[in-house]
Structure 1
Amino acid sequence: MFDSLNRHMLPPYGGWIKTPNFDRLAERTVTFDTCFVGSMPCMPARRELHTGRYNFLHRSWGPLEPFDDSMPEILKLYGVYTHLVTDHQHYWEDGGATYHNRYSTYEFVRGQEGDPWKGEIRDPEMPDYMGGHTTGLGGHSAGRMVIQDWINRKHIKEQSEFPQAQVFEKGAEFIRENYTEDNWFLQVETFDPHEPFFAHQTFRDMYPHDYNGKHFDWPPYRRIEETPEQVQHCRFEYAALVSMCDHYLGKVLDLMDELDLWKDTMLIVNSDHGFLMGEHDWWAKNIQPFYNEIARPPLFIWDPRCGKAGERRDSLVQMIDMAPTLLDYFNVPIPQDMQGKPLKESIAADEPVRQAALFGIHGGHINCTDGRYVYMKAPAAPENGPIYNYTLMPSHMRRLFTLDELKTWEAAKPFTFTKELQTMKITANPYNDLHHFGTLLFDTETDPQQQAPLQDEQIEAYMTDHLIRLMEESDAPDEQYERVGLKRKLPEDAQKG
């Protein structure tokens, strides 16, 4: 599992980055062409990986909840050994602290992004750089995160010292130690190619180009203000890191070949979401509407039960399908609260598992797709409210909820998936300035670049029906309908339709 891996830049999806091992992967697996994100960004997607249900309608970034079903923990309870190897530092922050202990064992590699790793009081020497995490997301000092990143880079020089290299080495170590055993699940998860785009020089040399500007490998979360030359340079920095990811993916494929794991071992290669690199005049994610560059991540699956390889699939699938797919593979019962579906028959014969899917971020557009049309329902008013977090684990990305936030909480009635538990209903801070984007409707078959929004009342009504149905199936809070100007179907309406 990679983070922020752009499918549209990978050659199996028509891209230009040099990735011979992703080409090799596509030859050995089934490639999904209609995979969409669910909940954005990092930890909300990982909550979906564990629970098989949407996160973004009920809370923002946060830990697993006491009522959540966790796929690795369920596997563990049924005798399947589960192991996590990752350099994704968000697992060790306040908003991710309940995930890693669901596995039988885990290993964590330090040093990615602004990971508070090496302790130096004096600020390091830094190049004259541009960009950086200018949003201060999660209450973290953006400036301090950049400073810490440059401290960390002082301790990462040789290729073998890069966190990603260590993650794949430790993953290979687990495989070599345990490949003759049965019933194990290994999650090899690297933070790359998430920003900053810090790759070893070997991979940067694969993309020679003239550039005399400031150091720039960490795009800000905002509209493009940079020159075309600066944008292209940053895209090459990203490409270098993706090629580094490709190199280490090749190590896994080599091991699959060497140990003949293809005969009885499922392989899934995916990402949580994409990342805008200048498309639609934007950097990054989270703030703007979730165009396909963000919303459609790559997905490759090898299932030895059917043995299908080198084929494409059109079935509409999401991250919520990973948990039931893995439980099904090990013949473990799938909890009733999981919304995702096992993909066994989709892999084998492109059998669809859903008509439509939701995706979004807490407090952002509520989006729906049927695989062709993408409908983005915007906040109905500039203030973008009301919006609440429903949680029993009140923590944000890098901090706990403040006392002022907690003073607003009231007990909420149980949702269908909270195992009869009431949650804390806490006033949330919505994403600002989303109303001006407006509601958008795209036909991605005739307009794959999403440059020309449709004005079609019939198609909008069709997508609205899907949207409301899926929100009701998710037991979305009442205010989510109000926030984007929708109305629940009344019981008599549901009976009619």
Structure 2
Amino acid sequence: MKNLLCFAVDRLHRNFIGAYGNTWIRTPGLDRLAYQATVFDQHVLESPHPHKVLATIWTGRHPLEECPGSPCLPEILGGREIHTVLITDEPSILDPEFSNRFERYILLTHPEPTQPVEEISQTYLANIFAQCTAVLGEQPQPFCAWIVLRGLGGPWDAPLELREQYADEGDPPPYSAVEPPNLRFSKEDDPDILLAILQAYAAQVTVLDSCFEAFWEWLSGVGWAPETGLLFLSLRGFPLGEHGWIGKEGPQLYSEVLHTPLMLYLPERAPAAQRVLSLVEPADLFPTILQLFDLGSDIPRLQVAANLFPLLTEEGESVRNRVFVLDEDGSQAMRTVYWYFRNTEPPELYIKPEDFWDFNNVANRCSDVVEAMQQLIVQDREALRNQSWDPLAELDPSIATRPE
């Protein structure tokens, strides 16, 4: 593989992609990618904030690690004469400490829409994708290009007609505003409010998928396509009423935000049509990307990040047994293979992967697991600070075994 395209899209809810089980919305573009790629089913973010997620990918370091001057992915690649470019339409979700280390940094701009458009080709995303292809068409090789987009966190300007396609007879009119909604929503509220927003969100996912499908068609026609891999992930999901909120200000440490899609297409393996059920996190992409460029010898000593190559070649092997989640306000959570624990008061505990959206809190019935999780969080915080964290450290039996 000579080149790598990395798409990082904000606010794309995992449950709205066909390859991840959605049957309501057609997503042929992303489904086509999934058929030819490796799909990671258990990709969990270490942080609900995009700049933190990108920092972990580009350094292989957990947000809690204090490693000033750590080697950075674009610098390592640049030192090996691999061109790096960062393309984005939203600088606020980037950390300048890392964005300035790319060889090229390109800010895409387009007027903010004030109302829904008539055609998908007129949408904000369609214009941004068109600008991406123009930039990439002139990109020197070999390269690693990061395309970081607002995605579903940007304007919802999908045509009204497209929104109405997701409404059944008797449904309320779809949400028609361009600004993404941000409001409290509980079981006592009118369900039509949520239904109207779901229709609009589905239409916006369709717009994204259509744009990606057009990009994929463009990519298949360029000369360097046979030597180019593609990574696709969401930087965080979009709360849609699962835990009392619709929009960006909802509770951050739940699966609708943290459990996001991740797909990796490698031309020499296509069509892979492979699903990985093992637990992975964004930091794992740092050594994996270096390995993709045959730079395994350049991978620095890392305590959190695990190279995903074994999962691409050996079915069933695990590279980690937990993901430690940290919010900027100090909130903490821990995801293991069989459990998701929110270190709150009172504590919350969910069985995984069965309780997909964290609805059935079993903390009161599993006090031994809660205690073990609380101890694990304390131990992991200390280990991360002391540079002694092990992604496959032996866990307490109550955590490591499947609940009955």
Report the TM-score range of the alignment, normalised by the length of the smaller protein: 0.7 to 0.9
**Residue 10 (structure 2) aligns with:** 3
> Closer, same or farther in 2 for the Cα pair 1:220/1:202, shift >3 Å?
same
Is 2:215 the counterpart of 1:252?
yes
> Equivalent residues in 2 for 1:131-280 (5 A)?
153=114, 162-178=123-139, 182-201=141-160, 203-208=162-167, 210-211=171-172, 215-216=176-177, 217-220=179-182, 222-224=184-186, 226-259=189-222, 263-280=226-243
Q: 1:374 touches 1:441 (CA, 8 Å); kept in 2?
A: yes
> Closer, same or farther in 2 for the Cα pair 1:453/1:163, shift >3 Å?
same
Q: 1:285 touches 1:294 (CA, 8 Å); kept in 2?
A: no
**Residue 5 (structure 2) aligns with:** none
Task: State the SS of the aligned residue for 1:177.
Answer: coil
**Residue 40 (structure 2) aligns with:** 32
> Closer, same or farther in 2 for the Cα pair 1:85/1:341, shift >3 Å?
same
Structure 1 counterpart of 2:9, which letter? F
CA distance in 2, matches of 1:339, 1:70: 15
**Residue 353 (structure 1) aligns with:** 319
Give the CA deviation at 1:249.
Answer: 1.2
Q: How many residues align?
A: 370
**Residue 474 (structure 1) aligns with:** 384
Structure 2 counterpart of 1:72, which letter? P
Structure 2 counterpart of 1:47, which letter? A
**Residue 369 (structure 1) aligns with:** 335
**In structure 1, which of residues 67, 77, 80 is the aligned counterpart of residue 69 of structure 2?**
67
CA distance in 1, matches of 2:290, 2:303: 11
CA distance in 2, matches of 1:203, 1:106: 34
**Cα deviations by residue, 1:18-73 (Å, 9 ceiling, x for unpaired):** 21112211111111111101112222222222222222x479xxxxx962432122
CA distance in 1, matches of 2:57, 2:244: 31
Q: Percent identity?
A: 24
Give the CA deviation at 1:260.
Answer: 7.0
> Equivalent residues in 2 for 1:280-319 (5 A)?
280-285=243-248, 287-288=250-251, 290-304=253-267, 306-307=269-270, 309-319=272-282
**In structure 2, which of residues 77, 80, 93 is the aligned counterpart of residue 78 of structure 1?**
80
Q: Which runs of 5+ in 2 are unaligned?
A: 1-7, 388-404
> Equivalent residues in 2 for 1:62-141 (5 A)?
67-91=69-93, 96-111=95-110
Runs (4+) of structure 1 exceeding 6 A deviation are 154-158
Give the CA deviation at 1:268.
Answer: 0.8
**Cα deviations by residue, 1:92-112 (Å, 9 ceiling, x for unpaired):** xxx73334322111221225x
**Residue 351 (structure 2) aligns with:** 443
Give the CA deviation at 1:349.
Answer: 2.5
Structure 2 counterpart of 1:177, which letter? E
Q: Which runs of 5+ in 1 are unaligned?
A: 60-64, 112-117, 119-148, 379-434, 478-497
> Closer, same or farther in 2 for the Cα pair 1:261/1:35, shift >3 Å?
farther
> Closer, same or farther in 2 for the Cα pair 1:100/1:155, shift >3 Å?
farther
Task: State the SS of the aligned residue for 2:264.
Answer: strand
Q: 2:47 touches 2:53 (CA, 8 Å); kept in 1?
A: yes
Task: State the SS of the aligned residue for 1:169.
Answer: helix
**Residue 341 (structure 1) aligns with:** 306
**Residue 400 (structure 2) aligns with:** none
Q: 2:12 touches 2:238 (CA, 8 Å); kept in 1?
A: yes
Over aligned residues, Cα RMSD in angstroms?
3.1
Give the CA deviation at 1:264.
Answer: 2.8
Is 2:373 the counterpart of 1:463?
yes
Q: TM-score, normalised by structure 1?
A: 0.67
**In structure 2, which of residues 290, 294, 310 is the aligned counterpart of residue 331 of structure 1?**
294
**Residue 392 (structure 2) aligns with:** none
CA distance in 1, matches of 2:274, 2:318: 16
Mean CA deviation greater in 36-45 or 210-219: 210-219
Q: 2:109 touches 2:128 (CA, 8 Å); kept in 1?
A: no
CA distance in 2, matches of 1:314, 1:334: 25
**Residue 18 (structure 1) aligns with:** 26
**Residue 360 (structure 2) aligns with:** 452
Q: 1:199 touches 1:244 (CA, 8 Å); kept in 2?
A: yes
Give the CA deviation at 1:88.
Answer: 1.8
Q: 1:324 touches 1:338 (CA, 8 Å); kept in 2?
A: no
Q: 2:243 touches 2:251 (CA, 8 Å); kept in 1?
A: no
Q: 1:222 touches 1:282 (CA, 8 Å); kept in 2?
A: yes
**Residue 401 (structure 2) aligns with:** none
Q: 2:175 touches 2:200 (CA, 8 Å); kept in 1?
A: no
CA distance in 2, matches of 1:106, 1:282: 35
> Closer, same or farther in 2 for the Cα pair 1:39/1:96, shift >3 Å?
same
Q: 1:321 touches 1:341 (CA, 8 Å); kept in 2?
A: yes
Give the CA deviation at 1:316.
Answer: 0.8
Structure 1 counterpart of 2:105, which letter? Y
CA distance in 2, matches of 1:311, 1:107: 33
Mean CA deviation greater in 13-22 or 190-199: 190-199
CA distance in 2, matches of 1:25, 1:35: 17
Structure 2 counterpart of 1:51, which letter? T
CA distance in 2, matches of 1:213, 1:448: 27
CA distance in 2, matches of 1:85, 1:203: 28
CA distance in 2, matches of 1:286, 1:68: 32
Task: State the SS of the aligned residue for 1:84.
Answer: strand
Task: State the SS of the aligned residue for 2:180.
Answer: coil
Task: State the SS of the aligned residue for 1:103.
Answer: coil
CA distance in 2, matches of 1:267, 1:364: 34
Give the CA deviation at 1:476.
Answer: 7.9
Q: TM-score, normalised by structure 2?
A: 0.81
